[in-house]
Structure 1
Amino acid sequence: ALSLQPDVLILDEPIAQLDPAHADRIYGVLRELNERYGKTIIVIEHHTEYIADFCKHVMLLKEGRVQWMLPTGEALQRVEELQSCNIFPPQVTLAAWRMRQAGSLTVPRLPATISEGREVFVPRADPAPAPRSAAPAQGETVASFQDVSVAYRSVKGEPHKVFDGLSLAIHKGDKVALIGSNGAGKSTFMKLLVGLMKPSTGTVCLHGRSLRDVRPEALSREVSMVYQNPEDMFIKDSIEKDIAYAMEARGVPDAAGRTDRLLERFRLSGLRDRDGRLLSGGQMRRASLAIGVALDPGILLLDEPTANLDIATRKEIMRTLEDLKEITETVVIATHDMQLVCEWAQRIIVLCGGKVVADGTRDEIFGDRALIERVGIRPPEIFAMGQALDPAALCYTIDDFLRCFEGRKPV
């Protein structure tokens, strides 16, 4: 993009599939290109916390028309207008807006960053105790990795090790978030579990059976993987045919009836004849989930289910994920979306350096500052805001934050 030294760079969702550390690096480079080299940077972005920190102006588009172009600080004050367009301001801004709506905050300007929030929020004198996350009851082991190593050679012929003696177990009923930086091995973990990859050494087991000599298609009724790019799930010319395909190939009784029920459950009945590749982002995700559960697997693996989605579509997918508990017993999600992790997961596994470096509840993971810094995890902005005001605060949502903090009273 820079080889011809353009004066203007336009980037479409530049950090959509990146972990927080790499996202910060990208915006650091963009800042340098702008401030040091005078480049004009235009980003198409729905991560408003990055907009607040990086952008000088914001342009709002709606139905193909420019609604306005304003300085960033002024643009992010328009909370209701932004929300009506399915754009959600930074969590710090939303928390202050809710306080102002409740009459407990009188500042003329809402904060847009954590540094601005320090001047607005203070701890409550009588904070309501936030619910703490408890480890779920441990069910039977349904999948296990025993001293698993995976290595390959790069295009330059250099050896690269993804896993180095990885050992862990997944239990029936688990709602697991698998987190770690890009290249930590999250997708490799899933491919090993569905049989698409084999370990260099060690053993991967499903219900106590080694998968070393098992073909992937033999596992399709036990474990299913929904790919990061939903387009990769579509092979037919309609989502109805895509959902029915695996069932028909394996002689599932009443495949047509089950297809109808899945279309209805995932709110796809009106789209049954549409090519999945031509649907909106949220519709694609719902259709790929319907394909993933078509054979009623006991374990469902989801690779970055909220990547590339705007906030409204992400919320839609969150609702769909909640519905999965009625369909499949065990769900593992690989993600960089820390809001998803905090709101959905009961167990968090952190991968780094080819090993599991942490495995616990959200309190155990996000409450460990040394771990957060070492692995490069970026908690939700509202969590970081709470920690900046009170290191003992564990606020995963805006509701949590409002229980612990209030607006600074005018002097």
Structure 2
Amino acid sequence: MNDERKDHMNPIIDMRDVSFAYGEQADLALANINLAIDEGSFVGIIGPSGAGKSTLASILSGAIPHHYSGSLYGETRVAGLDTCEVTLTDIARVVGSVLQDIDAQMVASVVEDEMLFGLENFGVPHDQIEERVTAALDAVGITDLRDREIATLSGGQKQKVAIAAILALAPRVLVLDEPTAALDPASSRAVFEILREAQRLTGVTVIIIEQMVALLAEYCERIIVLDRGEIALDGAPHEVFAHSSELRAIGVDSPRTARVSNSLSDLGLVDATLPALSIDEAEELVRSALRDSGALAAANHTEMPYLRATTNEPPSRCLTEQVGNRAEGTGRDAASSPMVELHGVSFSYGPGSASVDGIDLSVKRGEILALVGQNGAGKTTLTKLLNGLLKPSAGSVHIAGLDTRTTPVSTLAAHVATLFQNPDRQLCRPTVLDEVAFGLELHGAEGPVARERATAVVERFGLPSDAAPFSLSRGQRQLVALAGVVVLDPEVIILDEPTSGLDYRECMTVMETVRERARAGAAVVMVCHDMEVVSDFATSLAVMANGRVIACGPTQHVFAQRDILKRACVAPPQVVALSERLASSADPSFAGITEVSELVNRVKELMTRA
């Protein structure tokens, strides 16, 4: 028994020398994994796409070897059960799983039936079923969805249904693969709160695969980093995120507060052996450094203009003249004319379903407009109105001057390209290169020309051109779908959660490509729940709640409207929140800072000046 196992004498998860290769592939998806997880612990697993995270989840849930074929070596025991010697049903009584592909997990058409399916199949006594269903729906905050058809739910709402259905089964181990990928910031935090409360009340072991590193740092007791099928780092959050440079090389992000503290430490400005993993920790670290150097200004507790929430703005107008981007009067040139215009747009699927109401928006060339807000606010519905898949019941939508009510979708497709929330719904060709070239061929490009242009984009994204798209990880499939959009060089790009499921490196590849297309003249409308991505890349921001736009303007201006963000279940990025805190408690010059490097430089300037 090695040193690790001396600390885990009776682990609920015990993996010894586990390796796995899919089908007849020679390459190992996991290699020599030795892992012990104590019962009742809360463990986060991170790593780049293709690192083996979902494979590890499949082994823990019994899907490997009972569902996926391949070569499995070593031994995995769950609650003492050898997963190779018991049935999948036996494992499922111990381990509850929430898959990365939520649609593949759903078996019923109505939320209540989805909840009942597992309970009835596992033989839960009938006198306990109603209590379990009600408690699980209430815990996840979706009691109002009980009678809804699953097909009418947003991706985030489906995610909550899947989590509720598993919680109702009361497993001893919960394995969740990217559970917050489609959730708004408040819902993402709510999921972690639900999991922590379940851990506290029932002693359930939580194993969560996730890219939201700030949440992992806050809630997990232990972080495991996978890279190329092996364990690269394993320890407490403060220990793991102290290796920010190593994590960046692997393709994993660190919380922005950790980046701040690590950068300050590297410059010798603070004496911090462990990183700051919360805004509270980062604020205290900076204040202490300024205090010790004599640079700490008297705290300014008066409200400053940049922090004031402007709730008296028109609730549903977001025309680009509001943010200084629209030329007025006659004689506007083509570059200043809006590529996307919505005037008084309304649409509803029916009672109880997502809708939009009275939307006014305008986006011009070179602009990246981010749509943010809670799940079910109408963001995805709005994107479908933009590409013509839906027609407004009131108002008008114009794309590149074309009225979507009277223009065929095939004609609109020559001007606007869409990346859907689920990339699997737009992949249909046998190889990556074929997939990326397909759109060009549909638009009339000759085969050799289409493949030449597709090859350049495939190489830009670092994708394997001859691979079958569905043999790739979820994040890589997202890149394939985006490559198929970018290669068309559209005038308008619609992105619905473009970074969902991507690792840090892939996220940067996607968003830098989007920024390049905007700089080349495209108008971009992006639905995004990752506020760090929005802060880094969006030039303007529209906040949606209950089908309406409740605030719009320059990104950082809107992020300062805390009351508006709260109404829409949106939290500002860590650096924005930290700069606000420091402007109030340390020095007013921190006001408006949005970048890690800018904040670090401001600390350096103040300390040098003191």
TM-score relative to the length of structure 2: 0.60
Kindly state the Cα deviation for residue 116 of structure 1 after the two structures are TM-superposed: 1.8
Change (3 A) 1:141 1:406: same
1:262 corresponding residue in structure 2: 454
Rounded to whole Å, the distance in 1 between the matches of 2:376 and 2:357 is: 13
2:414 corresponding residue in structure 1: 221
1:104 corresponding residue in structure 2: 269
Kindly state the Cα deviation for residue 29 of structure 1 after the two structures are TM-superposed: 0.5
Kindly state the Cα deviation for residue 349 of structure 1 after the two structures are TM-superposed: 1.5
Does structure 2 retain, via aligned residues, the 8 Å contact 1:92–1:117? Answer: yes
Q: 2:484 aligns with which of 291, 301, 314?
A: 291
Kindly state the Cα deviation for residue 281 of structure 1 after the two structures are TM-superposed: 4.7
Q: Describe how 1:113-128 pairs up with structure 2 within 5 A.
A: 113-122=278-287, 125=295
Does structure 2 retain, via aligned residues, the 8 Å contact 1:263–1:272? Answer: yes
Q: Describe how 1:4-15 pairs up with structure 2 within 5 A.
A: 4-15=169-180
Change (3 A) 1:114 1:179: same
Counterpart check, 1:369 vs 2:567? no
Rounded to whole Å, the distance in 2 between the matches of 1:407 and 1:82 is: 28
1:130 corresponding residue in structure 2: none
Kindly state the Cα deviation for residue 382 of structure 1 after the two structures are TM-superposed: 2.0
Does structure 2 retain, via aligned residues, the 8 Å contact 1:175–1:347? Answer: yes
Does structure 1 retain, via aligned residues, the 8 Å contact 2:431–2:468? Answer: yes
Q: Describe how 1:224-239 pairs up with structure 2 within 5 A.
A: 224-239=417-432
Q: One-letter code of the match for 2:406?
A: D
Q: One-letter code of the match for 1:53?
A: E
Moved more, 7-16 or 83-92: 83-92
2:528 corresponding residue in structure 1: 335
Kindly state the Cα deviation for residue 63 of structure 1 after the two structures are TM-superposed: 3.3
Rounded to whole Å, the distance in 2 between the matches of 1:50 and 1:269 is: 29
Rounded to whole Å, the distance in 1 between the matches of 2:466 and 2:178 is: 30
Q: One-letter code of the match for 2:453?
A: R
Change (3 A) 1:275 1:323: farther
Rounded to whole Å, the distance in 1 between the matches of 2:174 and 2:360 is: 44
Rounded to whole Å, the distance in 1 between the matches of 2:492 and 2:250 is: 36
Does structure 2 retain, via aligned residues, the 8 Å contact 1:242–1:291? Answer: yes
Rounded to whole Å, the distance in 1 between the matches of 2:516 and 2:440 is: 21
> Deviation per CA, 1:268-309, whole angstroms, max 9, x where unpaired?
687333322223455433432332244432111111111111
> Deviation per CA, 1:181-212, whole angstroms, max 9, x where unpaired?
11112211111111111122222223444222
Kindly state the Cα deviation for residue 28 of structure 1 after the two structures are TM-superposed: 0.9
Q: One-letter code of the match for 1:64?
A: G
Rounded to whole Å, the distance in 2 between the matches of 1:319 and 1:230 is: 19
Change (3 A) 1:17 1:375: same
Does structure 2 retain, via aligned residues, the 8 Å contact 1:96–1:407? Answer: no
Q: Describe how 1:15-34 pairs up with structure 2 within 5 A.
A: 15-34=180-199
Rounded to whole Å, the distance in 1 between the matches of 2:556 and 2:464 is: 41
Counterpart check, 1:312 vs 2:505? yes
Q: One-letter code of the match for 1:339?
A: E
Q: 1:39 aligns with which of 184, 196, 204?
A: 204
Gaps of 5+ in 1: 128-133
Does structure 2 retain, via aligned residues, the 8 Å contact 1:244–1:256? Answer: no
Rounded to whole Å, the distance in 1 between the matches of 2:496 and 2:580 is: 29
Does structure 2 retain, via aligned residues, the 8 Å contact 1:293–1:328? Answer: no
Counterpart check, 1:244 vs 2:409? no
Q: What is the total number of aligned residue pairs between the two structures?
A: 398
What is the DSSP-based 3-state SS (H/G/I as helix, E as strand, rest coil) of the residue aligned with 1:405? helix
Kindly state the Cα deviation for residue 264 of structure 1 after the two structures are TM-superposed: 0.9
Q: One-letter code of the match for 1:323?
A: E
Determine what percentage of the aligned residue pairs are the same residue: 28
Q: 2:357 aligns with which of 160, 164, 171?
A: 164
Rounded to whole Å, the distance in 2 between the matches of 1:159 and 1:281 is: 31
Rounded to whole Å, the distance in 2 between the matches of 1:322 and 1:228 is: 19
1:93 corresponding residue in structure 2: 258
Rounded to whole Å, the distance in 2 between the matches of 1:402 and 1:214 is: 51
Rounded to whole Å, the distance in 1 between the matches of 2:600 and 2:325 is: 26
Kindly state the Cα deviation for residue 224 of structure 1 after the two structures are TM-superposed: 1.3
What is the DSSP-based 3-state SS (H/G/I as helix, E as strand, rest coil) of the residue aligned with 1:2? helix
Counterpart check, 1:203 vs 2:396? yes
Change (3 A) 1:296 1:67: closer
Change (3 A) 1:150 1:99: same
Does structure 1 retain, via aligned residues, the 8 Å contact 2:368–2:518? Answer: no
Change (3 A) 1:112 1:173: closer
What is the DSSP-based 3-state SS (H/G/I as helix, E as strand, rest coil) of the residue aligned with 2:217? helix
Q: 1:397 aligns with which of 583, 595, 598?
A: 595
Runs of 4+ in structure 1 deviating by more than 6 angstroms, as ranges, are none
1:274 corresponding residue in structure 2: 467
Rounded to whole Å, the distance in 2 between the matches of 1:295 and 1:71 is: 45
Counterpart check, 1:140 vs 2:337? yes
Change (3 A) 1:47 1:217: same
Change (3 A) 1:395 1:36: farther
Rounded to whole Å, the distance in 2 between the matches of 1:294 and 1:72 is: 40
Q: One-letter code of the match for 2:355?
A: V
Moved more, 238-247 or 303-312: 238-247
Counterpart check, 1:149 vs 2:339? no
Rounded to whole Å, the distance in 2 between the matches of 1:88 and 1:299 is: 29
Rounded to whole Å, the distance in 2 between the matches of 1:69 and 1:177 is: 35
> Deviation per CA, 1:330-385, whole angstroms, max 9, x where unpaired?
11111112122111111212222222211211232012222222222212212222
What is the DSSP-based 3-state SS (H/G/I as helix, E as strand, rest coil) of the residue aligned with 2:357? strand
Change (3 A) 1:273 1:71: closer
Counterpart check, 1:386 vs 2:579? yes
Counterpart check, 1:303 vs 2:496? yes
> Deviation per CA, 1:19-46, whole angstroms, max 9, x where unpaired?
1010111011111111122221111123
Rounded to whole Å, the distance in 2 between the matches of 1:242 and 1:56 is: 42
Change (3 A) 1:322 1:262: farther
Higher helix share: 2
Change (3 A) 1:202 1:354: same
Moved more, 20-29 or 261-270: 261-270
Q: One-letter code of the match for 2:272?
A: V
2:305 corresponding residue in structure 1: none
Kindly state the Cα deviation for residue 161 of structure 1 after the two structures are TM-superposed: 5.4
Does structure 1 retain, via aligned residues, the 8 Å contact 2:345–2:395? Answer: yes
Does structure 2 retain, via aligned residues, the 8 Å contact 1:285–1:317? Answer: no
What is the DSSP-based 3-state SS (H/G/I as helix, E as strand, rest coil) of the residue aligned with 1:184? coil
Kindly state the Cα deviation for residue 91 of structure 1 after the two structures are TM-superposed: 1.3
Change (3 A) 1:37 1:164: same
Change (3 A) 1:347 1:8: same
1:131 corresponding residue in structure 2: none
> Deviation per CA, 1:8-65, whole angstroms, max 9, x where unpaired?
1111121111110101110111111111222211111232211221111222333333
Does structure 2 retain, via aligned residues, the 8 Å contact 1:358–1:365? Answer: yes
Moved more, 239-248 or 367-376: 239-248
Rounded to whole Å, the distance in 2 between the matches of 1:294 and 1:90 is: 32
